[in-house]
Amino acid sequence: MTEAEVLEKYREAGRILAEVRTDAIKTIKVGKKLLDAAESIETLIQQKGGAVAFPTNISVNEEAAHATPSKADASTFGTDLVKLDIGVHIDGYIADTAVTIDLGNNKELVDASNSALERAIEVVRAGVDLAAISEVIEDTITDYGYLPVANLTGHGLERYTQHAPPAIHNRRTQSGAKLKEGQVVAIEPFSSAGNGRVYETGKAEIFSLIKAKPVRSPEARAILKDIDAYKTLPFAKRWLQGRVDLGLKQLETAGIIRAYPVLKDRGFVSQAEDTLIVTNDGSEVITRI
Ligand code: MN
Ligand code: MN
């Protein structure tokens, strides 16, 4: 496939994702079920001809990322600060976007991440040092009186790999690495009213394959068969058939899959994310219509 054909697949993934995001925002309302929101988003992606790149992440309040409802989750939205992070792929070429929906009273915190993303996009072009992007993100967020989350970063995107190099830090860094024309990257500032550091907590609902290996346990084998289609992309426990706790544990212990526990800060967190193609004079934001 030529580079132009690959970029067309990214654009198609981005266009579908932008449409889904617009609809998805309307489903996030006080009293609505998180599980219904997650499932309707994943259905809509497929109806529009895309593949779900990773489980719908719905992280509320102090949660920053990696939360998705379980099959049994009956919880509903309250006056929460909701981060919706969604992805579409076409033949493995991924578009990744996130938006914060404020059902409470957190306007400044939401604005901080949105402004940081806008200002970061303004400095993106081929040849720019990643440190310049990190600096503008940190400065924008701290101007609002919040902290950038230090241990969550933007990233490159590669076929069937959601988090590829380079890491695009949300806090000042010495980089040296420069963006290249045609590179596809996701920029995702997180603003925190807490410590600006997330920690792992709770039971994971999201997993991904590291590398398939032969296993004897029938439970583990059944899961490996079930997740074959996702390749190395993240999948949700609720997407699997039957009782899977034992098999997941065995696969994790054998180093075949990894778990993504929920990441939380000690205060509320907002996020904004878009995926872009780097060009010589700027960028093409593919997750906006
Ligand atoms: Mn994302
Ligand atoms: Mn991302």
- Report the share of the chain in percent with pLDDT over 70: 100
The confidence score (pLDDT) of residue 117 equals 98
Catalytic site includes residue 96: yes
Catalytic site includes residue 163: yes
**End-to-end CA, the chain:** 25
* pLDDT at residue 112 tops 90: yes
Q: Is 157 helix (H, G, I), strand (E, B) or coil?
A: strand
Q: How far apart are alpha carbons 278 and 179 in whole angstroms?
A: 7
| Cβ contact 205:236 at 8 Å | yes
pLDDT band at 213 (very low <50, low <70, confident <90, very high): very high
Nearest ligand to the C-alpha atom of residue 21: 1
- Report the share of the chain in percent with pLDDT over 90: 97
- Domain range annotation of the chain: 3-201+262-285, 206-259
How many angstroms separate the alpha carbon of residue 243 from the centre of ligand 2? 30
| Cis bond upstream, residue 166 (ω within 30) | yes
Neighbour-count burial of 52, counting CB atoms closer than 10 A to its CB (0-12 exposed, 13-18 middle, 19+ buried): buried
The stretch 29-45 carries a mean pLDDT of 98
Catalytic site includes residue 23: no
Q: Which range among 81-95, 106-120, 167-181 shows the weakest confidence by mean pLDDT?
A: 167-181
How many angstroms separate the alpha carbon of residue 200 from the centre of ligand 1? 17
Q: Which two tokens stand for residue 6?
A: 């690959």
The region, left, alpha or beta by phi > 0 then psi within -120 to 50, assigned to residue 64 is: alpha
Query: What rounded mean pLDDT belongs to the chain?
Result: 97
How many angstroms separate the alpha carbon of residue 215 from the centre of ligand 1? 32
Q: What is the CATH number of domain 3-201+262-285?
A: 3.90.230.10
Instruction: Indicate the DSSP class of residue 76.
Output: B
Catalytic site includes residue 155: yes
| Cβ contact 260:252 at 8 Å | no
| Cβ contact 186:272 at 8 Å | no
Q: How far apart are alpha carbons 45 and 16 in whole angstroms?
A: 7
Q: Which two tokens stand for residue 103?
A: 């059902």
Q: Which of 42, 62, 80, 96 is catalytic?
A: 96
DSSP H or E segment with residue 120: helix 107-123
Neighbours of ion ligand 1 (CB under 5 A): 85, 96, 98, 273
* pLDDT at residue 176 tops 90: no
How many angstroms separate the alpha carbon of residue 214 from the centre of ligand 2? 31
Contacts of 197 (CB under 8 A, 6+ apart): 149, 150, 151, 265
Single out the residue of 40, 262, 16, 13 nearest to residue 160, CA to CA. 13
The confidence score (pLDDT) of residue 45 equals 98
The confidence score (pLDDT) of residue 175 equals 75
Give this prediction's pTM. 0.97
pLDDT band at 285 (very low <50, low <70, confident <90, very high): very high
Q: Which of 80, 85, 138, 274 is catalytic?
A: 85
Q: What is the DSSP string of 41-75?
A: HHHHHHHTT-EE-SPPEEEETTEEE-----TT---
Q: How far apart are alpha carbons 32 and 188 in whole angstroms?
A: 26
How many angstroms separate the alpha carbon of residue 7 from the centre of ligand 2? 18
Q: What is the CATH number of domain 206-259?
A: 1.10.10.10
Q: How far apart are alpha carbons 213 and 50 in whole angstroms?
A: 29
The stretch 114-119 carries a mean pLDDT of 98
pLDDT band at 7 (very low <50, low <70, confident <90, very high): very high
